[in-house]
Chains A and B, each alone.
Chain A
């Protein structure tokens, strides 16, 4: 299975909003509302931010929001903060009963 497509990097200044895209196909993102987003700081374990396209995991800031349109999902970080600097991964359930991850996006806070 091919990895979902994410931009390698996205950057923004503190207080700005940024959006990370995640593009798949009709057998994964387009087929199910089972898109998740993870945040991973260097040397740390991935942390679930968003599940089922748009639902924030308990304890996750409302600055994180997500959506899906067709075969593309998006994660938006509003009011960017220094602590948001990390790698972000999307994932989706697939029609083959598997999970596929995106290649990851490095977010830099300028």
Chain B
């Protein structure tokens, strides 16, 4: 059973960097099969794809966030990471890590981590 668990600070100050970790169990990021993703959802709003990372470190980012986002992996710890710099209140959201079931659709989601950007 694939399980994903996000962790990190629930409160970040404006202009600082949001950093989250996703710990994966039941599958290996190094399995070379999938692009692991990060997706966020502001309270009461829709889903926004942030980006994805392959086991090799190859990444793809949402163009609207590309200048501020970095996604990476640590194969030895079976973890993926999200860094989002220069945050504002608009970055307040529940952040999910996810694994595709197939090529481009996400069948496995973490429960999500609520990150609030506030002074």
Chain A residues in the interface with B (C-beta under 8 A): 1, 3, 34, 36, 38, 45-46, 48, 51-52, 57, 87, 89, 91, 93, 96-104
Contacts and interface: CB of A to CB of B under 8 A. Distances in A.
B63 A98 contact: yes
Nearest to B61: A98
B46 A91 contact: no
Contacts of B96: 45
Given A45-B96, A45-B109, A51 B102 contact: yes
Given A34-B104, A48-B101, A98 B47 contact: no
B52 interface: yes
B17 interface: no
Contacts of A46: 47, 106, 109
Interface of B: 37, 39, 45-49, 51-52, 60-64, 96, 101-107, 109-112
Contact of A34 (B47, B52, B60, B103): B103
B112 A98 contact: no
B43 to A, nearest CB: 11
Contacts of B110: 45
Contacts of A34: 103-105
- Counting chain A CB atoms within 10 Å of each CB, the highest count among B63, B105, B110 belongs to B105
B114 to A, nearest CB: 12
A101 B63 contact: no
A104 B46 contact: yes
A97 B47 contact: no
A96 B64 CA distance: 13
Given A3-B46, A45-B109, A104-B47, 14 more contacts: A34-B105, A45-B110, A46-B47, A48-B101, A48-B107, A52-B105, A57-B101, A96-B60, A98-B62, A98-B63, A99-B37, A99-B49, A100-B49, A103-B46
B108 to A, nearest CB: 9
B49 A98 contact: yes
11 contacts: A34-B105, A36-B105, A38-B106, A45-B110, A48-B101, A57-B101, A91-B104, A99-B37, A99-B52, A99-B104, A101-B47
